[in-house]
Amino acid sequence: MTRLTAPPSPPPSPPLPSPTASTSTSTSLVPSSSLPLSNAKRSKRSFIEWVPLATHPVFASLRDSHPGLEFNPGSGGGRLVAWDAVVSRLYLWDPSIRGIHSLSVRLQDSQDGSEPWDLVSVEAAVPSETMVPSVQITHEVHQISVNRDGSALLIAGSDKLTVISIFDKTSTNGETVICKALPIATQILLGQDKGIRVLQASWHPSSRAHFGLLTSDAVFRLFDLSSNLERPEQEFYLQQVPSGRGLSAVSLCPVAFSYGGHYLWDTFSIFFLFSDGSIYILCPVVPFGSLYTQKRIKEIYDDVRSFESEASNTNAIRPSRLALSWLEETFPEMLSEVLDVHGLSLCRACAYAPLDASLVLQGPLCKISHDQGADDLKGRAVSFLCTSAGKDSILITAFNTSLLYIQALADEIHPQWATDAGPRLSLDANHKIKGVAMICESSPQNTDGPGKTPPLIELAVVDLELPDLDQKQQGAVLSLFPDPVVGERFYCVHSGGADAVTLNFLPSSDVDVELTSTKPPSVQPVFKIGNKGLYGFATIADSFGGSHIIGVTHKYECIVIEMKRWKETVTLNWGEIGEAGSVDMTSEVMTGVSKDLLAGPKPVVFNSTGSLKTMNPESIEGRSTLHHYMKIFRENYVEYAHKVSIEVKERTRHQKSLIEEQNKRVNAVKKLLETVETKEDRIQERIECACSSHDDLERRLNKLRSLPLVHKKPLSKAEKDFRGQLDRFVGVELDALHSAIEALSARMKRYNSSHASSVSPRRTALKSRTHASEAQVSLLKSSLGKLSSINEGNTQKLKLLEQHFASLEM
C-alpha cells in the first residue's frame, strides 16, 4: 500500500464575477425584444435562447434572492444539484422558493477552434423552468437525485423524504409549474429529530421506481414507489460484529452504502460502510420487477453450474444449489426469449425469497496489504463509493481526517445464505410475495467454496491535507463522485473545493505489474473555493469522449470545467475564469494505445562493472554471457511483438465490427429514404385531393349558410294562436263571403234585366215605383260597395297569408 499526500494546490484562480456584474451580463443575454409580449399564439420554442451555462440568469436571480445567506457546507456536500443524462437537464434546489430549477442543457461545438480547448461548450436554454412541489417541503434538504429515466426526483433531508413526479404537472403559470409531490415513509421517518434519521437514499441503477434507504437504526430498506410509498418492498436488518479495533457493537453503525458494478454477482450486490471503516456485502438483492439482460443472467448461471460440476465437497455444493435455485426462481425467463427491447433479450426479476434461509452480511472484508500499519485506520468513516473499471471493483472510503482509503476486490463476489432462520414474507390476495423482511447477521470469514467472502487489496491511502477545518464539519462535506467516462478516475468534493484522483494501477487489468512496484494514484486539485464548500457538484459526459464538471459555489456562482479523456493524469493547466465562469483544462488527447506498448520493449539492463568489455567472446564464459543476453533480447522483443500483434488484431476486429455496424445503419437509412421518396408522390396527390375536397366543402357550407331555413326560428305562443285564428277564418268565414258575393251578383244581374224590359202606362205609378226602386238600388249599391271593400280586404289578407305560409314552408 502506498501512502500519498496531495500535491500543493495551484495558485488561486481569478475571482468569480460579483453578483452585480453577473446580473448585468446575464440580463444582456436576454434582450427585451426577444420576449413574447403581444402575440401569445407564437410558439414557445421561438423564444428560447441558448447561453453559456455559467452565465444563466437563474444563478444571478439566486444571488439576488440570497444576498446575505450563509451556506452550511454540511447540509449539501455538493449534492443539491442533480444531472439527468436521459433528457440533458440540470436540476438545482432553490431554498427560497422551496422548489427546483430545471435547466435544459446542450453540448455545442465551439465556433472558434483557434484554441485547443475550445472544442465543446456547455449551454443552457433561456428561459428555464421552475418546478414547485404540490406539497410544501419544510424540512432541510441535504440531497436531490433523479431516477434512471428522468421521471422522478427524490428530495432527501435528515429525517424526511419527498418524491416529485416531473411529468405529472397539476398547473402551469408561465415558466413555473406545480408538480405532484408525495412524502415517503412517513410512518418510519417521523421528522423533527424525533426518531430515525436518514443516512443515505439512492435510486437503484436497475429500476426506475426503486430506491434504497439506509437509516440510523441499521436497517436497509428497498422501496417500490410504483406500488407503495409507506411500506418498503424489502427490509434487511444489518447486524454486524465488532472488527477488533476496540469498538463495541453499539458504537458501530452504518454510514453509507453503494450498489455494485456489472461483473457477475456484483450486479446483485450492495456494499455497506460502517463507522470504523469496515466494509460488508449483501448479496443477492434485486428489486422486484426490475429488468436485466438475459446474457448477463446466463453468464452468472453458467458460472455457478460450472463450479457445481467441479466441486466434490458437499459443503461447497449446497451454496451453489441455493444460488442456482435463486436464479431459476427469480429469473424464470432466462432460458427463453420473451421480452425484446432494442435488440436486447431482457429478463424481469420475480418476487422470490427462500423460505428457510436469510442473507448473510458478508464481512468485515479482510485486507491484503504489504503495509503492516494498513489496518490502523484513523478517524471515522463518512463517505463511500464503489466504482467499476474493467473487471476491477474499486472501493473508496473517506474518513473525517481527510484520508481516502482506496481498495479493490481481490476475488469474485458470491451469494451467502444462513439456513438457521428464514425471512418474514408479506403475501397479497393471490398468495404471491409482495414484501420481504429478514435479519442479516455477519458471519466469520469464509475463504473456500462458492460462498467465500472476497478479500480486499489495499491500493493506496491519499491524504488530502485539508487545512483549518473542524473534524465534525469536515466529515460532513467529504463526498465522492465517479467520473462518467474514465472508470479509473473519481472526484472528492470537500469544504475547500474538489480534487480529481486517477488510479494508475488496477489489479485485474494490469496483471503483468507487481503490486509492490505499482505507480501511486495521481491527485490533482480541480478548483479551490476557500472553506465554504460546494452547494452542488455534477459530472456529465459528452459524445466526444470527454466529461465536464459543473460546480455551484456557496454564492451560487456556476463553474464549468472540461475534462478530457485520459487514463494517466497530467498536470492541469488552469485557464482564466471569464464572463462565462468556466475553467478550461488542456491535455494530450489519448491515442487509445496501451501505455505499455507506447513505452516500447522492456529495456535490458547490462552489467555496469565493465567486465563485458574485457571479456573474450570466443571464450566459454563470453559465449555463455552472449547467449544469455541474446536470449533476453529475444524474449523481450518477441514478447513486445506478440503484444503488438494482439493489440493490432483486437483493434482491427473492433474497427471492423464498428464499420459493419455503421454500414448496416447507413443501409437502413438509405432504405428508409427510398421508401419515403416512393411514397412522397402519393402523399402529395392525397394532399392535393384533400385540399380540393376541403375547398368544395367550404363552398357548399357558404351556400347552405345563405338559405332562409338557416335563420328559421320557432313560433312563439302568441304567433301560434294567431295562426290558429287565421286557419279558422280561412276555412269558414271566407267561404261564406264568397257565396254571399256570388248571390248578390246574380240578384243584381236579374234586377237590371227586369228593370230595362218593364214599361208602365201610368206616369204616377211609374214615378212611385221608380222612386222606390231607386232607394232599393242605392241601398243595394251601398251594400255591394261594402261587400266589395270587404272582399278586397279579405283578398289582400288572403294573399298575405299565402305568402306567409309559402315562406314558412320554404
pLDDT in tens, 127-166: 889 999 998 888 888 899 999 888 899 999 888 899 999 8
Over 90: is that where the pLDDT of 219 sits? yes
Please report which confidence band the pLDDT of residue 589 belongs to, taking 50, 70 and 90 as the band edges: very low
Average pLDDT of the residues in 743-759:
77
DSSP string covering 291-313: EEEHHHHHHHHHHHHHHHHH---
Over 90: is that where the pLDDT of 29 sits? no
pLDDT given for residue 582 in this prediction: 41
Greater pLDDT, 108 or 3: 108
Where helices occur in 500-583 by DSSP H, the ranges are none
CB 235 within 8 A of CB 359: no
Alpha-carbon distance of 644 to 655, in angstroms, equals 16
Average pLDDT of the residues in 6-14:
41
The candidate with the shortest Cα–Cα distance to 618, out of 610, 627, 609, is 627
Question: Which burial class, exposed, middle or buried, applies to 391 when counting CB atoms under 10 A from its CB (0-12, 13-18, 19+)?
Answer: middle
pLDDT given for residue 401 in this prediction: 85
pLDDT given for residue 702 in this prediction: 86
pLDDT given for residue 477 in this prediction: 67
Over 70: is that where the pLDDT of 55 sits? yes
Identity of residue 186: T
- Cell digits for 391? 473487471
Identity of residue 193: D
DSSP string covering 79-120: BSEEEETTTTEEEEEETTTTEEEEEEEEEEE-S--SSTTTTE
Over 90: is that where the pLDDT of 311 sits? no
Q: How far is CA 807 from the centre of its chain?
A: 69
pLDDT in tens, 97-114: 889 999 999 887 655 444
CB 584 within 8 A of CB 591: no
Alpha-carbon distance of 502 to 521, in angstroms, equals 5
The lowest-confidence range among 268-277, 314-323, 503-512 is: 503-512
pLDDT given for residue 247 in this prediction: 54
Alpha-carbon distance of 534 to 553, in angstroms, equals 5
Q: Could you tell me the pTM of the whole model?
A: 0.64
pLDDT given for residue 372 in this prediction: 44
Where helices occur in 399-529 by DSSP H, the ranges are 471-477
pLDDT given for residue 391 in this prediction: 78
pLDDT given for residue 120 in this prediction: 62
The candidate with the shortest Cα–Cα distance to 289, out of 463, 433, 116, 502, is 433
The candidate with the shortest Cα–Cα distance to 222, out of 287, 308, 297, is 287
Average pLDDT of the residues in 659-667:
89
pLDDT given for residue 115 in this prediction: 41
pLDDT in tens, 373-425: 445 566 788 899 999 887 788 999 998 888 899 999 888 888 989 888 889 99
280 Cβ partners below 8 Å, 6+ apart? 238, 240, 271, 272, 274, 361, 362, 363, 364, 365, 442
Residues in the chain: 810
Alpha-carbon distance of 792 to 387, in angstroms, equals 111
Alpha-carbon distance of 506 to 797, in angstroms, equals 113
Alpha-carbon distance of 288 to 350, in angstroms, equals 6
Residue 335 CB neighbours (<10 A): 12
DSSP string covering 260-279: --SSGGGGG-EEEEETTS-E
CB 145 within 8 A of CB 259: no
Greater pLDDT, 101 or 755: 101
Identity of residue 754: S
Average pLDDT of the residues in 13-28:
34
Average pLDDT of the residues in 618-630:
77
pLDDT given for residue 145 in this prediction: 92
Over 70: is that where the pLDDT of 58 sits? yes
Q: What is the 3-state secondary structure (H, E, C) of 682-701?
A: HHHHHHHHHHHHHHHHHHHH
Greater pLDDT, 223 or 635: 223
The lowest-confidence range among 340-344, 528-532, 638-642 is: 340-344
CB 221 within 8 A of CB 238: no
Alpha-carbon distance of 783 to 745, in angstroms, equals 12
Alpha-carbon distance of 22 to 13, in angstroms, equals 17
pLDDT given for residue 37 in this prediction: 31
Greater pLDDT, 133 or 448: 133
- Cell digits for 714? 320557432
Over 70: is that where the pLDDT of 427 sits? yes
What is the percentage of the chain residues whose pLDDT exceeds 70? 72
The lowest-confidence range among 444-448, 488-492, 665-669 is: 444-448
List residues bridging with 291 in a β-sheet. 348
Helix 294-310 to helix 314-330 angle, to the nearest 10 degrees? 160
- Phi, psi torsion values for 376, nearest 5 degrees: -85, 80
The candidate with the shortest Cα–Cα distance to 482, out of 465, 501, 509, 464, is 501
Greater pLDDT, 258 or 720: 258
CA geometry: angle 215, 221, 226, nearest 5 deg: 130
Over 80: is that where the pLDDT of 672 sits? yes
DSSP state of 191: -
- Cell digits for 385? 463509493
List residues bridging with 404 in a β-sheet. 398, 462
Q: How far is CA 553 from the centre of its chain?
A: 24
Alpha-carbon distance of 492 to 551, in angstroms, equals 12
pLDDT given for residue 181 in this prediction: 92
Residue 678 CB neighbours (<10 A): 9
Greater pLDDT, 603 or 499: 499
- Which helix (H) or strand (E) element contains residue 144? strand 141-146
- Phi, psi torsion values for 580, nearest 5 degrees: -75, -15
Alpha-carbon distance of 747 to 614, in angstroms, equals 177
587 Cβ partners below 8 Å, 6+ apart? 564, 566, 570, 572
Please report which confidence band the pLDDT of residue 455 belongs to, taking 50, 70 and 90 as the band edges: confident
pLDDT in tens, 507-544: 776 655 555 556 788 888 887 776 667 888 899 887 76
